[in-house]
Amino acid sequence: MSKDSEEKDVKWRTRVGGQVEGKPVVRGYPLDDLVGRVSFAEAIYLILKGELPTEREKKMMEAMLVACIDNGIGPPSVVAARTVFSGGNSLNAAVAGGVLTLGDSHGGAIEQCARIYQENFPSDVVDVKAHAKAVVEEFDRKKKRLPGYGHKLYKRDPRTMRLLELAKEYGYMGRFVEFAVAVQDELEAKSGKNLPLNVDGMIAAIISEMGLSWKTGKGIFIIGRIPGLVAHVVEEWEREKPFRRLEEGTYVYDGTPVRPVPSKPLS
């Protein structure tokens, strides 16, 4: 078979990884050569961006993943994962159930926010604060909420504050991080409320500084959160009885009052 006919038969293509000369390859590197030589955070950076990270890129990636690993039993992903397991399902099904809750309102803000940063912040902007004010005013005029800001528990998100410290230490206090903080300040000044840059918004700014596409945002959160979901499901397995359900008194039926079924079919 000629090379041209082989090319015509190809239906799926990938630059991520495959097998070359009988060995697994990831982004051009033999996988067995990577094993034991790079950290998991370095491997994640490699598979997402296509190149191995520098030392500061590795440390920043590690910090972001750790910041995502867990935020208690309350978030929808954990509640879902533990509930699915309590129904008698396997660990993988329970973790998958948790991952399926990661959407626009839970974990999705990294993607949404990074897209705003990358598509609404031209490289020729000189006055970052003025541009932040303009963006906040535009969203306010359209009655749209800026993702990546505000938190139900924190006046200042401690994860954000730590990542901000590390961004300074590793040299990622660039235009996107500066813009993210400026938007926070403008939102709070305009509303008079606590609307902190949360961990999603902070990670969105950092991955933008790192040159990672906004399309990787939700994926980075998923990668970081899965170990926490696994831990919660294992804890549910070991500590709780099956068949979780809402406790009496915590829910109520408020629909149509009880009524008789018609004796004759409705015409």
Q: Which residue is associated with the tokens 């996988």?
A: 31
Asked if residue 2 has pLDDT above 60, the reply is no
pLDDT of residue 194: 87
Selection from 141, 150, 144, 152 nearest residue 116 by Cα? 144
Q: Please answer whether residues 172 and 209 qualify as being in contact, where contact means their C-beta atoms are separated by less than 8 angstroms.
A: yes
pLDDT of residue 1: 46
Asked if residue 9 has pLDDT above 90, the reply is no
Q: Please answer whether residues 40 and 31 qualify as being in contact, where contact means their C-beta atoms are separated by less than 8 angstroms.
A: no
Kindly report, residue by residue over 67-104, the tens digit of the pLDDT. Answer: 999 999 999 999 999 999 999 999 999 999 999 999 98
Domain boundaries, the chain: 18-53, 68-239
Q: Which of the four CATH numbers 1.10.230.10, 3.20.20.150, 3.30.390.30, 3.30.479.10 does domain 68-239 have?
A: 1.10.230.10
Asked if residue 4 has pLDDT above 80, the reply is no
Q: Please answer whether residues 190 and 196 qualify as being in contact, where contact means their C-beta atoms are separated by less than 8 angstroms.
A: no
Q: Please answer whether residues 180 and 163 qualify as being in contact, where contact means their C-beta atoms are separated by less than 8 angstroms.
A: no
Give the pLDDT mean for 176-187.
94
Kindly report, residue by residue over 214-227, the tens digit of the pLDDT. Answer: 999 999 999 999 99
- What is the chain's mean pLDDT, rounded? 93
**Whole-model pTM over 0.75:** yes
pLDDT of residue 179: 94
Q: Return d(Cα 167, Cα 174) in angstroms, integer.
A: 9
Helices and strands in the chain, H and E counts: 12, 3
Give the pLDDT mean for 117-132.
87
Give, in degrees to the nearest 5, the angle at Cα 198 between 192 and 204. Answer: 125
Asked if residue 134 has pLDDT above 80, the reply is yes
Q: Return d(Cα 203, Cα 111) in angstroms, integer.
A: 9
